[in-house]
Structure 1
Amino acid sequence: MKLFSDIFTSLEQGLQYSTTKQKAISDNIANVDTPNYKAKTVTFQDTLQKATLEINAYRTDARHFTFTANTNSSPVIEAKSTLVYNNNGNSVDMDKEMADLAKNQIYYNALIDRLSSKFSSLQNVIKGGQ
């Protein structure tokens, strides 16, 4: 019997993604006036593809997808080199960065709230429901 379910690992990966995204947004906001600075973004698709869960599946044909476990995934930061918003070659859109910052903060708070409730449930079980 597993004491901790895979939800803790999933929440941890979500927090890691949100933290990395926060760093990228902060870098973008800090360099809004830097000439030729290319805005950074965190790609979720690559992170999602790398974070496959282990599934016990029976393949009836060699052409079917294989299922593997890969828990060592980390978010990827990429520079957006094709966009230029300012005359100085800077690609930071301050309105978009502020919107992304707010969205990421809501996502992070939701993950923290979920993690907190999981630990509260675990604490309740340990105490015997008292």
Structure 2
Amino acid sequence: MSLFSGTIQSLEQGLNYSTLKQQTISQNIANVDTPNYKAKDVSRKNQFQSELQYSLKAYRTNEKHIEFSKSSEQAAVISRTSHTYQENGNGVDLDKEMTTMAENQIYYEALIDRLNGKFNSLQTVIRGGK
């Protein structure tokens, strides 16, 4: 039996994603004036699908049904090449990056708060409910 039924591991993966996202946003902001720099983003689709596959069990009743399989793919940094916001070919929208950074910070703090709650629960159990 795992501690908290895998909750801490899921929170840890969320924190790892948020940290990578913060680093990517910071890199984009640092290169806002670099000619031909293309903004980068973190793809979480693979990680989200991986989480779903660990928590869901699917039984195929027909060979045409989509098969669920566990994936070990993690979040990946990808380049956004579809937009150019400056005449020098730079693809960084500073307002968008700052908004994304604020969203990511709120997400990170929510995960930390939840993790602290789990550890406080464990501490209460260890103390015998006192």
| CA distance in structure 1 between the partners assigned to 2:82 and 2:49 by the alignment | 24
- Aligned partner of 2:61 in structure 1 is 60
The answer to whether the aligner puts 1:77 opposite 2:77 as a matched pair is yes
- Aligned partner of 1:38 in structure 2 is 38
Alpha-carbon distance change, 57 to 96 in structure 1, aligned in 2, over 3 angstroms: closer
Aligned partners of 2:32 and 2:90 also within 8 Å: yes
- Aligned partner of 1:112 in structure 2 is 112
Deviation at 1:32, TM superposition (A): 0.3
The percentage of counterpart residues that share the same residue type is: 53
Any gaps of 5 or more consecutive residues in structure 2?
none
Aligned partners of 1:54 and 1:67 also within 8 Å: no
Aligned partners of 2:46 and 2:73 also within 8 Å: no
User: Aligned with 1:53: secondary structure?
Assistant: helix
Aligned partners of 1:55 and 1:68 also within 8 Å: no
Deviation at 1:42, TM superposition (A): 0.7
Counterpart code for 2:94:
M
Any gaps of 5 or more consecutive residues in structure 1?
none
Deviation at 1:60, TM superposition (A): 3.2
Mapping of residues 113-128 of structure 1, within 5 Å: 113-128=113-128
Deviation at 1:93, TM superposition (A): 0.2
Deviation at 1:69, TM superposition (A): 3.9
Alpha-carbon distance change, 73 to 115 in structure 1, aligned in 2, over 3 angstroms: farther
| CA distance in structure 2 between the partners assigned to 1:110 and 1:54 by the alignment | 21
Counterpart code for 2:62:
D
User: Aligned with 1:99: secondary structure?
Assistant: helix
Paired residues, number: 129
| CA distance in structure 1 between the partners assigned to 2:42 and 2:50 by the alignment | 14
- Aligned partner of 1:7 in structure 2 is 7
Using structure 2 for the length normalisation, give the TM-score. 0.88
Q: Which moved more, 1:4-13 or 1:90-99?
A: 4-13
Aligned partners of 1:24 and 1:41 also within 8 Å: yes
Map Cα deviations across residues 23-53 of structure 1 (whole Å, 9 max, x no partner). Answer: 1100000000000000000112222123321
Aligned partners of 1:54 and 1:69 also within 8 Å: no
Alpha-carbon distance change, 80 to 57 in structure 1, aligned in 2, over 3 angstroms: closer
